[in-house]
Amino acid sequence: MGKEKKGEERRRYPRVPLSLLIQYRFDTLEDFLAEYATNISMGGMFIGTEKPREEGSLIYLQFYLRNGAKLIEGLGKVVRVVSPDESDEPGMGIEFVNFNRESMKLVEQIVNNQLSNE
């Protein structure tokens, strides 16, 4: 009774498609890596990558609005991993952990703009 049905939606926030270059870094890396996010919500994003980190890893994210004017940055946590063996679209689900108020307002703006265009 308490188990979820396969494929049942567990997300708290609606996610919207997004193709946005994200720079990120883990504690062990000094340089930023860059990959594309494929979707975003108020709770997090999915970053497509052939080399996802393990669940629980902390990640520092930076990305700009399309016009390049506003920087969004903060700390996230890997909460889901899709390996290249599992899917043609491997990557990692990132939960936003520590983003300042301004960054979260910008994320909300991105999500709402995408939702209104659907």
Domains of the chain (ranges; CATH) run: 16-117 (2.40.10.220)
Q: State the pLDDT at residue 64.
A: 83
| Cα separation, 83 vs 103, whole angstroms | 29
Task: Give pLDDT tens digits for 46-105.
Answer: 999 998 999 999 999 998 877 777 789 999 999 999 999 988 899 999 999 999 999 999
Cβ–Cβ contacts within 10 Å for residue 31, how many?
7
The pLDDT value recorded for residue 5 is 40
Mind listing the pLDDT tens digit for each residue in 39-59? 999 999 999 999 899 999 999
Q: Are 57 and 26 in contact (CB under 8 A)?
A: yes
Percent of the chain with pLDDT over 90: 55
pLDDT at 40 (0 to 100):
94
pLDDT over threshold 60, residue 7: no
Closest by CA to 57, choosing from 73, 37, 77, 74, is 77
Structure tokens at 11: 């997300």
Positive or negative, the CA dihedral 76, 79, 67, 107 is negative
